Chain A
Amino acid sequence: MARQLMKGNEAVAEAAVRAGLHAYFGYPITPQTELLEYLSRRMPELGRAFVQAESEVAAINMVYGAACTGSRVMTSSSSPGFSLMMEGVSYMAATEIPVVMINVMRGGPGLGNISPSQADYNQSVHGGGHGDYRQIVLTPGSVQESVDLTVLAFDLAEKYRINTVILSDGSIGQMMEPCELPEMQPLRGVSTEPWAITATMGQREHRMLSSIYLKVSDEEKTNIRILNRWRQIEANEVRFKEYYLDDADFAIIGFGSAGRVALTAVRQARAEGIKVGLLRPITVAPFPVQQVAELSKRVQGILVTEMNGGQMLDDVLRIVKGNCPVEFFARLGGVVPFPDEILSEIHRIAKGPLSVDVDPRSAWLDRMAAIVN
């Protein structure tokens, strides 16, 4: 299929349609609104369901209801809207149903602004809603990757009956890039999944989906089932991209937009002869634990770069366990780093000296004082 120039938000919407999206529920919020607008035209055209809800709380619970029928359903929002959705997200995780959610992140906390950010990492990766649950979190770095990961998200959500989040951001949602869309999949009929609530029509036994287990031993079993399933996901679904790591003395770890900016800096550094590489996690949940652990044993230092205050940094530190020094660089609150900034970080790290005893966040904050003030 020919490549076409598309806006990130619209490309994701079309990819979902082609992946067999039955129903979409959403609410306006910048920088995600084009996704909603696109589907308001596209879904009715194909005889599928589009609903603009009266709030994000309503939207996520419409998703909850529709997902219980085994249909392919999706919602999208941006950071503050996702915070509102958290009750529904926890309930869906407890009910063990497949759902796809697109978070086009913006600057926060609070009302923040409408510029790109990665500050919802913890909310998506380490919960956000109440209770013990996990969800798959995919992080695209381009419009093409957004398209591909959207299709994958539906498959993973259904394979594991789990919430799957595409953690995008305002720059990827708003930018236009050439991309290749997938073939249109035929729309599935009523779900044949053995758990789906589809009306018995007097033909079979009743089924039950629940997020309430008043008998505590049943709730414990449910929690353990969810965690065991997560172990499978960790074993099978880790995805990442490696650039120039084979002979690298130093490694950068960054996801999504930050990873993409870092790649430009890495290429510039390579041109200068600095042996630096990049690990860009595609799945931040499950996290590429093994890859980071191995990397930490063979490089002289790791630079974590994000558009937040070091949320992934904490995960990296937990995995590296002092094997090598870890450094940190971030712009946040809606500011996107320039490749130059990361390049000068590479220069600083290549020059050394580095120490495993330095708190990378604290050191970065000290360096930031000169930049921000």
Chain B
Amino acid sequence: MNLIDKLATWEDQISPGISACVGCNVELTLRTCMKVMGPNTIFAIPPGCMGGVGVVGWDKKSGAKTPVFFPLLDNVASMLAGIKLHYEHIGRDVNVVAFAGDGATVDAGMQCLSGAAERGDKIIYICYDNEGYMNTGYQRSGSTTKGAWTSTTPVNHSGQGGKRQNKKDFPLIMAMHDIPYMATMNPAYIPDMVRKLEKAKEIKTGLVYLHVYNPCVTGWGFQSDFSIEVSRLAVESNFAPLYEVENGKFKMSVEIRNPKPVKEFLSRFKKFSHLTDEDIQELQEWTDFKINRLKHLCTL
């Protein structure tokens, strides 16, 4: 079956009528992920956009069609570890999946996720990285790009301010836990996403970590009809490369032969509109350094 047929055949595990922003590419990501995971799935969504929009089923009319838990920012992986143990005990093979934002993953939830990865808890952890705490109005997170305006890294009238620290390289941090499978995904590359999710479902030897880069229409400031286009630019500029790490072996999923300047990506967002040429140059060098390191890792 080809991809189109698969996506047409598989049932959408999320009901219509959830209240995500117009053009939200996290909703597309969630629907795609849960379609592949299928009905034999229990998943958890901590506080964040996808919790806020009603996927957990506030009104008992909309939301997920599979059992869904609402853990906290600091305990997603722990809660799922407990759930998985029960299903292992009764001998039922079920996909136990986290769908968590970057705040719950790279900040508050890092300790318990790291513990679950090290123990080899058999859960699939998907992080939708929109670079901040969007559900409370876009505060910075450890995953926010350097220079970005957020509601807690303000920019003054003369254009000074923004976040002062670099984004945490969380996919690499998770890969370094030597888990069986780690991959990055992007809503502009659905076939790649589906392939990785199908692979993730087959892995029974430990924790799988999937990191999705999701530019946020409302928080970052861009028109909703460019939601997929700007997501693709993140890959085409090597700003958020697509790669996977299977049993310690790094492999690029999408090779970009002639990368676009990161300026082309950054200039699409209001949150970077105050950046100077020097700031952008610094982010270009940072991007170059990271892609070169990644390519080197792929040769090992």
Please indicate the chain B residues that have their CB under 8 angstroms from the CB of A50 in the complex.
152
Q: Does A52 contact B (CB under 8 A)?
A: yes
Q: Do residues A33 and B107 form an inter-chain contact, with CB atoms below 8 A?
A: no
Please indicate the chain B residues that have their CB under 8 angstroms from the CB of A36 in the complex.
139, 152
Q: Does B129 contact A (CB under 8 A)?
A: no
Count chain B CB atoms within 10 A of each CB in A33, A55, A56 and give the residue with the most: A55
Q: Does B187 contact A (CB under 8 A)?
A: no
Interface residues as binary, A32-62 with B (CB distance below 8 Å gives 1, 0 otherwise): 0100110011001000001010111100000
Interface residues as binary, B135-156 with A (CB distance below 8 Å gives 1, 0 otherwise): 0110110100000000111100
Q: Does B74 contact A (CB under 8 A)?
A: yes
Please indicate the chain A residues that have their CB under 8 angstroms from the CB of B72 in the complex.
80, 111
Please indicate the chain B residues that have their CB under 8 angstroms from the CB of A30 in the complex.
136
Contact pick for B133, options A28, A40, A41, CB 8 Å: A28
Please indicate the chain A residues that have their CB under 8 angstroms from the CB of B133 in the complex.
28
Please indicate the chain A residues that have their CB under 8 angstroms from the CB of B137 in the complex.
28, 33, 37
Q: With A and B bound together, what is the CA distance between A282 and B161 in angstroms?
A: 40
Q: Which residue of B lies closest to A55 (CB)?
A: B108
Interface residues as binary, A9-35 with B (CB distance below 8 Å gives 1, 0 otherwise): 000000000000000000111100100
Q: With A and B bound together, what is the CA distance between A37 and B136 in angstroms?
A: 10
Contact pick for A37, options B70, B152, B161, CB 8 Å: B152
Please indicate the chain A residues that have their CB under 8 angstroms from the CB of B74 in the complex.
55, 57, 84
Contact pick for A54, options B70, B108, B153, CB 8 Å: B108
Q: With A and B bound together, what is the CA distance between A30 and B48 in angstroms?
A: 11
Interface residues as binary, B238-278 with A (CB distance below 8 Å gives 1, 0 otherwise): 00000000000000000000000000000000000000000
For window 51-107 of A, CB contacts with B under 8 Å fall at 52, 54-57, 80, 84
Contact pick for A33, options B70, B136, B154, CB 8 Å: B136
Q: Do residues A40 and B151 form an inter-chain contact, with CB atoms below 8 A?
A: yes
Classify chain B: how many residues form its interface, as a range: 20 to 34
Please indicate the chain B residues that have their CB under 8 angstroms from the CB of A57 in the complex.
74
Q: Which residue of B lies closest to A57 (CB)?
A: B74
Q: Does B219 contact A (CB under 8 A)?
A: no
For window 110-139 of B, CB contacts with A under 8 Å fall at 110, 133, 136-137, 139
Q: With A and B bound together, what is the CA distance between A56 and B103 in angstroms?
A: 12
Contact pick for B107, options A37, A54, A84, A111, CB 8 Å: A54
Q: Does B73 contact A (CB under 8 A)?
A: yes
Min Cβ gap B282→A in Å is: 21
Q: Does B47 contact A (CB under 8 A)?
A: yes
Q: Do residues A52 and B152 form an inter-chain contact, with CB atoms below 8 A?
A: yes
Min Cβ gap B211→A in Å is: 18
For window 173-218 of B, CB contacts with A under 8 Å fall at none
Please indicate the chain A residues that have their CB under 8 angstroms from the CB of B110 in the complex.
54
Please indicate the chain A residues that have their CB under 8 angstroms from the CB of B139 in the complex.
28, 33, 36-37, 52
Q: Do residues B136 and A28 form an inter-chain contact, with CB atoms below 8 A?
A: yes
Q: With A and B bound together, what is the CA distance between A57 and B103 in angstroms?
A: 14
Please indicate the chain B residues that have their CB under 8 angstroms from the CB of A44 in the complex.
161
Q: With A and B bound together, what is the CA distance between A40 and B164 in angstroms?
A: 13
Q: Do residues B151 and A111 form an inter-chain contact, with CB atoms below 8 A?
A: no
Contact pick for A52, options B73, B140, B161, CB 8 Å: B140
Please indicate the chain A residues that have their CB under 8 angstroms from the CB of B103 in the complex.
28
Min Cβ gap B66→A in Å is: 20
Please indicate the chain A residues that have their CB under 8 angstroms from the CB of B70 in the complex.
111
Q: With A and B bound together, what is the CA distance between A33 and B133 in angstroms?
A: 11
Q: With A and B bound together, what is the CA distance between A84 and B103 in angstroms?
A: 16
Please indicate the chain B residues that have their CB under 8 angstroms from the CB of A55 in the complex.
73-74, 107-108
Q: With A and B bound together, what is the CA distance between A54 and B60 in angstroms?
A: 32
Please indicate the chain A residues that have their CB under 8 angstroms from the CB of B151 in the complex.
33, 37, 40
Min Cβ gap A213→B in Å is: 29
Min Cβ gap A114→B in Å is: 10
Min Cβ gap A130→B in Å is: 19
Please indicate the chain B residues that have their CB under 8 angstroms from the CB of A40 in the complex.
151-154
Q: Which residue of A lies closest to B133 (CB)?
A: A28
Q: With A and B bound together, what is the CA distance between A33 and B161 in angstroms?
A: 20
Please indicate the chain B residues that have their CB under 8 angstroms from the CB of A52 in the complex.
139-140, 152
Q: Which residue of B lies closest to A26 (CB)?
A: B152
Q: With A and B bound together, what is the CA distance between A142 and B96 in angstroms?
A: 46
Min Cβ gap B82→A in Å is: 16
Q: With A and B bound together, what is the CA distance between A29 and B108 in angstroms?
A: 12
Q: Which residue of A lies closest to B140 (CB)?
A: A52
Please indicate the chain B residues that have their CB under 8 angstroms from the CB of A84 in the complex.
74
Q: With A and B bound together, what is the CA distance between A57 and B72 in angstroms?
A: 13
Q: Do residues B154 and A29 form an inter-chain contact, with CB atoms below 8 A?
A: no
Interface residues as binary, B219-233 with A (CB distance below 8 Å gives 1, 0 otherwise): 000000000000000
Q: With A and B bound together, what is the CA distance between A29 and B103 in angstroms?
A: 12
Count chain A CB atoms within 10 A of each CB in B108, B110, B161 and give the residue with the most: B108
Interface residues as binary, A249-269 with B (CB distance below 8 Å gives 1, 0 otherwise): 000000000000000000000
Min Cβ gap A364→B in Å is: 28
Q: With A and B bound together, what is the CA distance between A41 and B140 in angstroms?
A: 13
Q: Which residue of A lies closest to B104 (CB)?
A: A55
Q: With A and B bound together, what is the CA distance between A12 and B232 in angstroms?
A: 43
Please indicate the chain B residues that have their CB under 8 angstroms from the CB of A33 in the complex.
136-137, 139, 151
Q: With A and B bound together, what is the CA distance between A74 and B107 in angstroms?
A: 21
Please indicate the chain A residues that have their CB under 8 angstroms from the CB of B73 in the complex.
55
Please indicate the chain B residues that have their CB under 8 angstroms from the CB of A56 in the complex.
108
Min Cβ gap B114→A in Å is: 13
Q: Which residue of B lies closest to A36 (CB)?
A: B152
Q: Which residue of B lies closest to A50 (CB)?
A: B152
Q: Do residues A54 and B142 form an inter-chain contact, with CB atoms below 8 A?
A: yes
Interface residues of B (CB under 8 A from A): 47, 70, 72-74, 103, 107-108, 110, 133, 136-137, 139-140, 142, 151-154, 161
Provide 11 A-B residue pairs closer than 8 Å at the C-beta atoms, listed in order of the A residue. Answer: A27-B108, A28-B103, A28-B152, A33-B137, A37-B139, A41-B154, A50-B152, A52-B139, A52-B140, A54-B142, A80-B72
Taking A55-B74, A56-B108 as given, write out 9 further A-B residue pairs in contact, using a Cβ cutoff of 8 Å, ordered by the A residue number.
A28-B103, A28-B137, A36-B152, A40-B152, A40-B153, A52-B139, A52-B152, A111-B47, A111-B72
For the complex of A and B, the 8 pairs showing the least CB-CB separation, nearest first, are A40-B152, A55-B108, A54-B107, A28-B136, A28-B139, A41-B154, A28-B133, A37-B151
